[in-house]
Amino acid sequence: MILVYLVLGTFFGFVLSRSGAADYDFIQGMFLLERFQLYGIIGTAVVVTAPALWLLKRYGKTLTGAPLVVTPKPGHRGNVVGGILFGVGWSITGMCPGPILVNVGEGKVYALAALAGALLGAGAFGVAYPRLQRAMRLPPLARGTGDG
């Protein structure tokens, strides 16, 4: 199974690399409303995945024959506050989480600094979870903010 995820990740990474999703100029172009590329990519992915997902949940099974279960993410204040923090970081670096790894692979040295920051930021969040829980209305610790 590990190999399956590795291959899917490699394909995903290659597409992100060659489409502009992992390119600083394409990301700034998206936020400056000068380039349509990233809106086209995300829009196509959602428009194609949404009906397929609906059909799969209704009629589909996994390859092992298990029922298809999708657990929705919980809603909380972190959706807005965390979203804003992430958006600023995305603009600063020109990378969201997937493309950070893609950029590291492409040989962009500064992406290693972004990766170090992201790991440290995620680590700090996990350590601070009990203290953020109340103010952010976060779900119980065993559940977390939502996996994705």
- Using CB under 8 A as the binding rule, the residues of this chain from 24 to 63 that contact another protein are 24-28, 30-33, 36-50, 52-53, 56, 60, 62-63
Smallest separation (angstroms) from another protein to the CB of 58 = 13
- Report how far residue 106's alpha carbon sits from residue 17's, in angstroms, rounded to the nearest whole number: 8
Token representation of residue 101: 């790894």
CB 73 within 8 A of CB 148: yes
Residue among 21 and 134 whose Cβ is closer to another protein: 21
Number of chain positions touching another protein (CB under 8 A)? 124
Burial of 30 (0-12, 13-18, 19+ CB in 10 A): buried
Residue among 2 and 134 whose Cβ is closer to another protein: 2
Closest CA to 95 of 22, 11, 16: 22
Site for another protein in 83-142 (CB under 8 A): 83-98, 100-111, 113-127, 129-130, 132, 136, 141-142
Smallest separation (angstroms) from another protein to the CB of 101 = 4
